[in-house]
Amino acid sequence: MTQELIDLRNSIVEQRYTDALAIVDELEGMSKKAILRQIKFFLKVLLIHLIKN
């Protein structure tokens, strides 16, 4: 993610706003994937807890 932030900064400084927006979209996708992974993890924990009880 660090490289993406560097690329984003460079795109803005160089006034390549289309590239900057594409990077922002990519970062949003990354964060959505992380959220979904976390939800999946908690659902597994919940399922294990329910099976034990």
DSSP the chain: -HHHHHHHHHHHHTT-HHHHHHHHHHHHHHHHHHHHHHHHHHHHHHHHHHHH-
Residue with tokens 């900057």: 20
| 14 vs 1: which has the higher pLDDT | 14
pLDDT band at 53; cut points 50, 70, 90:
confident
Give tens-digit pLDDT for 4-39. Answer: 889 999 999 999 999 999 999 988 888 888 888 898
Residue 1 pLDDT exceeds 80: no
Which amino acid makes up residue 16? R
Average pLDDT over residues 47-53: 89
Which amino acid makes up residue 24? V
* Alpha-carbon gap, residue 2 to 43, rounded angstroms: 30
